[in-house]
């Protein structure tokens, strides 16, 4: 993919996320909440999980339809994980949320598109010399799907539990040509939901 093609793809993603954001209804019953979270990222048969932390900013109308911006980053991955050893992954996703308010709790489904970046960090060998002097970075499109539950203890404070699947994708010569990449992982998190 050429440099112009990469920028063209980024512009289309930003336009899509902006359009999705504009589809969220604005009503008197709409509320927003921010959720700092911590959890783990893992594959289907990994020995070790990788600590993951981040923040989500969401708005929902009537507790049913909404939009979310989700930013997450993993700690440095050891060996035997879904990630390359000594690497970190960062994701920024724009998601649609569909919830079902039930007696003070809100089960929901979530899914969307965004940006996935992996970075192999410099490391030392046994002679204390740098093996990788410069970080190796890869970035591109990605998608996530999942669900969870939100419940509020009071008007402004609650808890959120979330499980989602993230996968890298790339675009071929045509924007409709979607190629699924090898990087794919699950993320399970818990966080404090602060409603405003």
Exposure string (b/e) for 11-37, b if CB count within 10 Å is 16 or more? eebeeebeebeeebeeeeeebebebeb
Q: What domains lie within the chain, and their CATH numbers?
A: 3-195 (2.40.160.20)
pLDDT of 179 above 80: no
- pLDDT, greater one: 66 or 120: 66
Distance CA 193, CA 34 (A): 6
Q: What phi, psi does 14 have (nearest 5°)?
A: -60, -40
> Residue 83 CB: number of other CB atoms within 10 A?
23
The alpha-carbon radius of gyration of the chain (Å, integer) is 18
Structure tokens belonging to residue 70: 């989700």
pLDDT recorded at residue 23: 44
pLDDT recorded at residue 24: 41
pLDDT of 8 above 60: no
In 3-state terms, what secondary structure has residue 79?
A: coil
Prediction pTM value? 0.77
- pLDDT, greater one: 39 or 133: 39
What's the pLDDT tens digit per position in 98-110? 999 888 899 999 9
The answer to whether the CB of 107 falls within 8 A of the CB of 149 is: yes
Residue 150 banded pLDDT, cuts 50, 70, 90: very high
Residue 28 banded pLDDT, cuts 50, 70, 90: very low
pLDDT of 10 above 60: no
pLDDT of 174 above 80: no
pLDDT of 129 above 60: no
The mean of the pLDDT values for the chain is 82
Instruction: Please report where in the chains the tokens 């794919």 appear, as a residue.
Output: 184
């Amino acid at each position: 993919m050429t440099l112009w093609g990469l920028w063209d793809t980024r512009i289309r993603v930003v336009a899509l996320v902006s359009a999705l954001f504009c589809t969220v209804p604005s009503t008197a019953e709409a509320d927003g909440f921010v959720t700092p979270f911590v959890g783990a990222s893992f594959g289907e048969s990994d020995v070790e999980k990788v600590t993951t932390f981040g923040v989500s900013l969401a708005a929902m109308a009537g507790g049913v339809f909404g939009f979310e911006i989700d930013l997450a980053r993993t700690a440095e991955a050891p060996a035997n994980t879904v990630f390359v050893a000594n690497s970190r992954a960062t994701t920024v996703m724009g998601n649609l949320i569909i919830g079902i308010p039930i007696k003070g709790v809100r089960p929901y489904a979530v899914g969307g598109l965004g940006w996935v970046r992996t970075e192999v960090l410099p490391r030392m060998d046994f002679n204390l010399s740098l093996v990788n002097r410069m970080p190796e970075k890869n970035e591109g499109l990605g998608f996530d799907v999942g669900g969870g539950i939100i419940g509020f203890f009071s008007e402004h404070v609650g808890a959120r539990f979330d499980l989602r699947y993230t996968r890298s994708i790339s675009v071929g010569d045509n924007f409709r040509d979607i190629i699924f990449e090898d990087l794919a992982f699950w993320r399970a998190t818990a966080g404090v939901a602060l409603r405003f």
